Amino acid sequence: GESVGLHLPTLSVQEGDNSIINCAYSNSASDYFIWYKQESGKGPQFIIDIRSNMDKRQGQRVTVLLNKTVKHLSLQIAATQPGDSAVYFCAENMRGSQGNLIFGKGTKLSVKP
């Protein structure tokens, strides 16, 4: 079935470097995508979103890129900090699904000091 998945299960970066987390999706009916951060013992926390009619969106230290041609989503974190260590999920919202999100498996980001 259609699903959201991630290319890499783990990512280790040096503090201060930029991080890029990738996600592939297969549902062309999705109208927007969300990146969540989940720290140990906590629920997913909203980071940034992007609608399907956009290619790029920037937040504070984060940028999300959407390539609809190859159905690829990425999250870029600038100047990665130890507090960024967590599991990151992309999620898609299918148009008309009444807000029920489809999550990928997640990428664990580890930041080395």
Partner 1 sequence: ETGVTQSPTHLIKTRGQQVTLRCSSQSGHNTVSWYQQALGQGPQFIFQYYREEENGRGNFPPRFSGLQFPNYSSELNVNALELDDSALYLCASRGGGTGGPVLEQYFGPGTRLTVT
Residue 4 C-alpha from the chain's centroid: 10
The nearest distance, CB 113 to partner 1, in angstroms, is: 25
The nearest distance, CB 3 to partner 1, in angstroms, is: 9
Taking contact as CB under 8 A, which single stretch among the options 12-20, 65-73, 74-82, 104-112 is the one that binds partner 1? Answer: 104-112
36 to 55: interface string for partner 1, x by CB under 8 A: -----xxxxxx--x------
Full 3-state SS string of 58-109: ECCCEEEEEECCCCEEEEEECCCCHHHCEEEEEEEEECCCCCCEEECCCEEE
Minimum CB distance to partner 1 smaller for 43 or for 113: 43
